[in-house]
Amino acid sequence: SRYLLQQVIGYGANGIVYLAYDHHMQSHLAIKQLNIKNLTDAERRIQLNEALHHQYVSGHPNIITLDSVMEGGNCLFLAMELCTEGDLFEYILARHSPPNHLHMRNLFLQILDSVEYCHAKGLYHRDLKPENIMMFDGGNTVKLTDFGLSTTESWSFDLGCGSGFYMSPECCNPSTDPKVPSGYSPQLNDIWSLGIILINLMCGQNPWKQAYLGDEAFDTYLSDSNYLKKTLNLTDSFHQLLKSILHINPAMRPSISAIRAQITKITQFT
């Protein structure tokens, strides 16, 4: 066999990740095992989508490279680029001093590039969070991974899809207004998630537990336009950018290219 599984290095919601040795390339890589036995059709679709969608966008410098997909013994095996430096969540947690905002901005610009590339190919991630962004090159390069919840649909009815902290309000809260369509745009949901990731990078915290009506911090944000500025001690320019990304009306959120143009002009964040 080409690959030798050596040890378990991680557990995901959908499977186990192994450290493996590739005899052909004479190098190590990660192999993610996804169990496809005894699954509902919906669960099986998630597993297959993870492989197909990841393969579709593999090759961008800020997306984990997926080398091959194999099937056997009621499992899918995804052979992919090995990360030995952990994820962005761990990187943020390990900081002992105030963040270097210009370095954090550089990492965020790389995240923007990866998501823009996916969106340009008609793929929406729907689970953007620091845990799905891997670190490389001593903390200077980031790469997006885990496409298990991604979709090619431009409109979704999968409410509650993603991770609580990073989900948009329209993904969390079913519409109560008959004039507002139920469901949400996965593209604009991703934009919201990028805003929460940006707060994590620059401030080392989340602004609320969930953008859900009834979450005290989120409710305060809705009623007080300066809430983020006061609680996170933001500069005016950074506050204006965040308010636009985290606009309650998805149609008012900026494009990724507009976010890039704005953030490159900001030198002071807090």
Tokens representing residue 53 in the block: 């969608």
At a CB cut-off of 8 Å and minimum separation 6, what does 26 contact?
none
Contact indicator for 171, 160 with CB cutoff of 8 Å: yes
Contact indicator for 54, 117 with CB cutoff of 8 Å: no
Cα(245)–Cα(268) distance, rounded to whole angstroms?
Answer: 18
32 is in an annotated binding site: yes
Cα(168)–Cα(165) distance, rounded to whole angstroms?
Answer: 9
Contact indicator for 89, 36 with CB cutoff of 8 Å: no
* Chain mean position to CA 52: 18
* Chain mean position to CA 150: 10
Please, how many CA atoms are within 13 Å of residue 52, restricted to the half-sphere of its CB? 11
Is 127 annotated in the active site?
yes
Task: Spell out a b/e string for 121-141, using b for 16 or more CB atoms within 10 Å of the CB, else e.
Answer: eebbbbbbbbbbbbbbeeeee
Contact indicator for 200, 108 with CB cutoff of 8 Å: no
Of 22, 87, 127, 146, the active-site residue reads 127
Show which residues are catalytic. Answer: 127
**Annotation: binding site:** 32
**Annotation: binding site for ATP:** 32
